[in-house]
Structure 1
Amino acid sequence: MPTLDLYYMPSPGASRAVIMTAKAVGVDLNKKVVDVMAREHLKPEFIKINPQHTIPTLVDNGFVLWESRAILIYLVEKYGKDDSLYPKDPQQLWSINASSSIWAHSARAMCATTIRNYLTMSRSRQIPKPSRRSMRPLGSSTPFCRDSNKRH
């Protein structure tokens, strides 16, 4: 198996999913930490690799990929031994794609809420209480984080 370059952040989330998937399909990664706080993702040498300057970014023999879900699918389709990680059956595939889309949108909404709350807190010096709406996945009336024993 080849060794691919992965530009990543060592936090849980999108980069971790790429690392775990690469391991599952037997691909070795040359991991290169990108310090977003130091704005390394905006440096000319990184923008030359990925003009979108997003993390994670994977380079497979000169082919550059970004967007973690697209990277996961690429790894499984190119290096997977069979379709056990990403099925070919359209109905099973729909279930996976629908679930990953819901979680991605929910995570994005929660990140936006967290950033908004941080900015509000930094101005007012008070920690704002999250609203019920901010705890729901987009397009859902069910809270994203909830006590499973409590009816909403």
Structure 2
Amino acid sequence: MDHPPLPSTESAVTAVREIADAYGLTMTVAHDIGADQTSRRSSAALFKATDPDGSLPHEAFVDLAGRPTVSVRLYPDDDALITVDGVEFHDVPRDQVPAFLRSVYSGLAHVKARRFPPGYRLIIPLPGDETYRERVPALTLTPWLSSILRA
């Protein structure tokens, strides 16, 4: 299913809100607006809210309550950091955030166990050929991660 691109942080927040509603999740959102407020704009001039090109960067942090615990930091640079039960997925394109969350909440996400070398990976498949994989340290295997473990 094709979705329109998410041209702004606010449109991505709206898409996440629709997913939260669809899965009966509560969410909280914190917005940081301005070059002096966003996390990736440390080089911004003091007391300057706009970027050198005159744009006003907008970053949002979304926390989704439920199982698994999920948070999404939407950056003004068209990407996101998604944390699923403590496992961080860096540089997820903003346009893929809704599909990523649907995969997590619809039961497609799973943990793959490896025998040698021993370890675990959280795998989030998206429609098409896109799949996100991140290592899960054995000591941080939560009850939810354990419940989606595949040998």
TM-score normalised by length of structure 2: 0.33
Structure that is richer in helix per residue: 1
Structure that is richer in strand per residue: 2
Larger radius of gyration: 1
